[in-house]
Homo-oligomer: A and B are copies of this chain.
Amino acid sequence: MAQNNIRGVLSPVLTPFNADYSVARDAFLAHCRALVQCNVGLAVFGTNSEANSLSLAEKRELLDMLVENGISPQRLKPGTGACALPDAIELSRHATELGAAGVLMLPPFYYKGVSDEGLFRYYAGVIDTIANPALRVYLYHIPQVTQVGISMGLIERLLRAFPENIAGIKDSSGDWDNTQAMLTRFQPQGFDVFAGSESFLLRTLQGGGVGCITATGNVNAAQIAALADTWQNADAAAQQAQLDTVRGIFQKLPMIPAMKAAIADQTGSADWSIVRPPLVELDAEQQRQLKAGLADIGFKVNQPARAAT
């Protein structure tokens, strides 16, 4: 099993756009740097990154740009899964050659009702073609979006076939029983289980898992990272409760536009609220609701963590 893998808290990094929908590269780089400073890893090109709204060429170029500008590849775990096997191969290979700590791979999500055999062939196709022991594949289970899940049987088969390359999973099912089952069955083999959000962070760490990959890591980075660091402290449950309160405010709204709106508001850069179609930005009433909710708890985007007790 792979050693020295990336662990702790990662964020599917929001992708800022300009008014013409091109990627706002400087804002993206600055946001990545801020997250790294908060000890949050960069799962760029996740669901909350609008990754599937980006072209393959854009994703390649952004990865290059981050590394050229001094972001350590060891803090990068880009999303590379795609409907088309050649796309998944190209981006996974590129990320691995750049030295990325891993890749987070959606299953192909166009066809529904596909078999585990077909999904096995997809992941095997990526791993066999790249044929690089440095490739660390993290499976991405988010069935409510993809409608195509990663079953226990598929994980078992992949781990048996590719023990060097299959490194773990992000479980975004929101189903604790599923996360628990993975923790029990696969974590002891060194298959790293990440909760799909900080809502299950404490429970995941208590259950032997390694962290979470969470949307809210974009806006509440330091606090979430602090819990991952101090989860054995006496105040862990209180920390978890505070994280839940913040998340609850964002979760009442469409998450991606809400997080972008909060950053736009705090930075004074209105462009930060731009999303690519098919998403739409918050309307005025939603913005009001968000602002009021965050003001109520005195929340600021990515404020430093309180000192651990």
Residues of A in contact with B (beta carbons under 8 Å apart):
21, 47, 52-58, 83-87, 90, 107-112, 114-115, 117-119, 121-122, 125, 144-148, 276-280
Contact = CB atoms under 8 A, between A and B. Distances in A.
B111 A279 contact: yes
A85 B144 contact: no
A118 B278 contact: yes
Given A110-B145, A119-B278, 10 more contacts: A54-B84, A55-B56, A56-B56, A110-B146, A111-B278, A115-B280, A118-B277, A118-B278, A147-B147, A148-B278
B107 A278 contact: yes
Nearest to A83: B52
Contacts of A147: 112, 147
A145 B111 CA distance: 6
Copies of this polypeptide in the complex: 2
Contacts of A83: 52-53, 83
A86 B59 CA distance: 12
Given A58-B86, A112-B145, A145-B112, A278 B122 contact: yes
Given A277-B121, A278-B118, A280-B121, A55 B86 contact: yes
